[in-house]
Structure 1
C-alpha cells in the first residue's frame, strides 16, 4: 500500500469555498500523478471535473451529506467501470482502489485540516465509499472509519484537532 506523504499533496480551494464554508455539500476531487506520486485535492461547492482524466477515471470524489436524522457524514465514490472494461480490468481497478483508498482518504482529510478546526465534531463522522461498477461483485459501499483516524495517522497526534489560539 502507498504511504501518504503530506509533502506530495497539493490543495486548491475553488472560490468561493473557504476552509470554513460550505459544510453540507462541500465537495472533494482527489486526483494523482502516477509518475510523481503527487496527490491533487480540489475543495469546492462543485467537483473539479476538469482535473479528471476521462480515460483513466482513477479519481476519488467525496462530499459531506446529511442523513435522515440531520447528522453529517462523508460519502465518496470511486469509478470502477461503467461497462467499458472487461471483468478482468474491472477486477484490477477495484483491487487498486481498495488498496489505495486509505491513502486517498488521508489526502482528503489531511488536505482539509483547517475545516476540522472550525467543525471539530466532524472528526468523528462516518466515511462511506461507493464503488461504482456494472459488475455486482464490485458495486458496493464500504465503511472507512472516521476522519479522526486519518488525521491521527497523518500527523501522529491522537487528540487532533487542536484549536488555534
Structure 2
C-alpha cells in the first residue's frame, strides 16, 4: 500500500534536465518539511545542496551504468545531529516513502525509459560507525510505483 500523498509532493526540474532526459547525469535531492509533511524533489545534473540543511536528512540519488546495466544509487547520511541508531531507524522507516516520491515525481522519465523500473536500487547508509555503515539492495522502482505495474 502506498504511503505517498501526491498532493504533498513538489517537483522541480533544474536546467539541463527535462521530464525525460538525460539518464546520466540525473541526480535527485529529496527534502521534506517536518511541519507540513510536504516533500520537495529536485531533479538536476547536480545535487541541490542549496535545498539541504544541517540535519543532513535528505535523500540523494543518481543513475549509474556499469556493464551495460543501469543502477540507481541512494546516499543517506546516517551520522548527524542526534543518536545514530535513531537516525538509522528513521531513514529505514521513511525510505519506502522517499522511493515512492522519486518514482512518482519522475513518472514521465520512467515512462520514457521503462527498463529503469527494473534497475536495482542500491542504498548506501553512510556512517563512521561500522554497525550502521552499510550497502543494501532495496529492490527496483517497480516496487515503489504507486500507480500500479507498468504494462508497457
SS at match of 1:144: strand
C-alpha contact 1:75 1:129 (8 A) present in aligned 2: yes
Per-residue deviation, residues 87-117 of structure 1 (Å, max 9, x unmatched): xx01110000011100011111110000011
C-alpha contact 2:55 2:81 (8 A) present in aligned 1: no
Give the whole-Å Cα distance in 2 for the aligned partners of 1:91 and 1:38: 24
Give the aligned partner of residue 80 of structure 1.
78
CA gap 1:59/1:85 in 2 versus in 1, 3 angstroms? closer
| Matched residues, number | 151
Q: Which of the pair is proportionally richer in strand? A: 2
The answer to whether residue 68 in structure 2 is matched with residue 70 in structure 1 is yes
Q: Any runs of at least 4 consecutive aligned residues in structure 1 with deviations exceeding 6 A, and if so which?
A: none
| Greater radius of gyration (CA) | 1
- Structure 1 alignment gaps of length 5 or more: none
Q: Which moved more, 1:29-38 or 1:2-11?
A: 2-11
- Structure 2 alignment gaps of length 5 or more: none
C-alpha contact 1:116 1:161 (8 A) present in aligned 2: no
Tell me the TM-score normalised to structure 1 length.
0.87
RMSD: 1.5
CA gap 1:36/1:161 in 2 versus in 1, 3 angstroms? farther
Tell me the TM-score normalised to structure 2 length.
0.94
